[in-house]
């Protein structure tokens, strides 16, 4: 691949973690997920960006902060607010003393925070990026880049607050439509589609299972089982990136095998246990 092709193809996001964050003061979140790129937009309220070695920056509604690099940083309602939550690699969230707060902070599908409404509302995306060209581009950016509302061609506040709940649900509807199309193609090929998720937030996992049922697809709780084992202290996830360990992969594979039809297993020379 030449330089131009790399420049055009390089900035691709994989493993994007997208979330709506709902917060009431006082709040402070320490970000130790070590993702190379994150983008956070303030929909309502404000936040302070506090990075080691940098002056705290206040963002208002409509502002966007782009954070580059794997250094740890924090966001808060006030720079003086002590850290309450820590986000680890793999987007695992705990209290500062290590208590997992996956369920306590869940506020529904793709929503998280300490409030069901939120005096402050954020939209955040965390990305893992591939390609040497992309890495060179990231190195050219400052660690913290703030775009003010007036600097954006289309202010965020003009796009988000006026949307109806149905419009805000477009992403979920798009996922459902894509899954329905995958089922259609799989049915034509005589293949079987199994739907599963990571098990958290619980409301999201339940919504995925319900959607699978509506579409006539098999659902596996394998991700939930893996999460329960992790919460019991087993080494299910890799420490630095949140992917499964070999033991975690075995757990998930066993869970998926339980819902694969005997016909499909027989076609692959497998005998269900």
Residue 113 sits in a domain whose CATH number is 2.60.120
Domain of residue 201 covers: 167-267
Domain boundary among the residues 112, 143, 159 is at 159
d(CA 51, CA 173) in angstroms, rounded, equals 36
Q: Is the peptide bond before 201 cis (omega within 30 degrees of 0)?
A: yes
List 44's β-bridge partners, or say none: 121
Helix or strand holding residue 20 (H, E): strand 13-23
Strands (E), 24-143: 28-31, 37-44, 46-51, 57-60, 64-68, 73-76, 85-87, 93-95, 111-113, 120-129
pLDDT tens, 53-69?
889 999 999 888 988 88
Which of residues 158 and 38 earns the better pLDDT score? 38
pLDDT tens, 96-134?
888 888 777 877 777 889 988 889 999 888 876 655 446
pLDDT tens, 190-218?
888 889 888 876 777 888 888 899 999 98
Same structural domain, 116 and 172: no
Domain boundary among the residues 136, 159, 182 is at 159
Counting the structural domains of the chain, the total is 2
Residue 273 lies in a domain: no
Residue 203 lies in a domain: yes
Same structural domain, 22 and 48: yes
Same structural domain, 33 and 136: yes
pLDDT tens, 14-35?
556 678 899 999 999 999 888 8
According to the model, what pLDDT value does residue 162 have?
Answer: 45
Instruction: Give the global pTM.
Output: 0.58
Given pLDDT bands bounded at 50, 70 and 90, which one contains residue 86? very high
According to the model, what pLDDT value does residue 136 have?
Answer: 64
Residue 124 lies in a domain: yes
Burial 19-28 (b: 16+ CB within 10 A, else e): bbbbbeeebb
Same structural domain, 145 and 195: no
Lowest mean pLDDT among 79-88, 100-109, 234-243: 234-243
According to the model, what pLDDT value does residue 239 have?
Answer: 62
Cα-Cα end-to-end distance for the chain: 47
According to the model, what pLDDT value does residue 186 have?
Answer: 85
Show the tokens assigned to 17.
């973690």
43 vs 22, 25, 119, 120, 122, CA distance in Å? Answer: 10, 16, 10, 7, 5
């Amino acid at each position: 691949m030449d330089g131009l092709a790399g420049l055009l193809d390089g900035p691709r996001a994989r493993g994007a973690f997208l979330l709506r964050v709902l917060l009431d003061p006082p709040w402070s979140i320490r970000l130790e997920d070590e993702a190379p790129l994150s983008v956070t937009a303030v929909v309502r309220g404000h936040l302070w960006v506090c990075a080691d070695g940098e002056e705290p920056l206040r963002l208002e509604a409509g502002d966007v902060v782009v954070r580059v690099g794997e250094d740890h940083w924090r966001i808060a309602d006030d720079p003086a607010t002590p850290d309450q939550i820590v986000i680890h690699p793999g987007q695992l969230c705990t209290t500062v003393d290590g208590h997992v707060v996956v369920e306590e902070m869940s506020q529904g599908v793709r929503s998280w925070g300490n409030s069901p409404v939120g005096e402050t509302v954020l939209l955040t995306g965390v990305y893992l990026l591939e390609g040497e060209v992309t890495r060179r581009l990231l190195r050219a950016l400052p660690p913290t880049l703030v775009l003010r509302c007036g600097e954006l061609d289309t202010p965020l506040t003009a796009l988000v607050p006026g949307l109806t709940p149905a419009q805000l649900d477009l992403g979920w509807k798009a996922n459902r439509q894509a899954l329905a199309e995958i089922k259609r193609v799989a049915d034509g090929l005589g293949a079987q589609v199994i739907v599963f998720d990571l098990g958290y937030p619980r409301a999201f996992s339940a919504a995925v299972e319900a959607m699978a049922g509506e579409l006539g697809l098999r659902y596996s709780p394998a991700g939930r089982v893996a999460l329960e084992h992790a919460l019991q202290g087993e080494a299910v996830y890799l420490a630095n990136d949140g992917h499964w360990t070999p033991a975690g992969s075995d757990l998930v594979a066993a869970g998926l095998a339980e819902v694969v039809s005997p016909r499909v297993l027989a076609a692959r020379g497998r005998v269900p246990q």
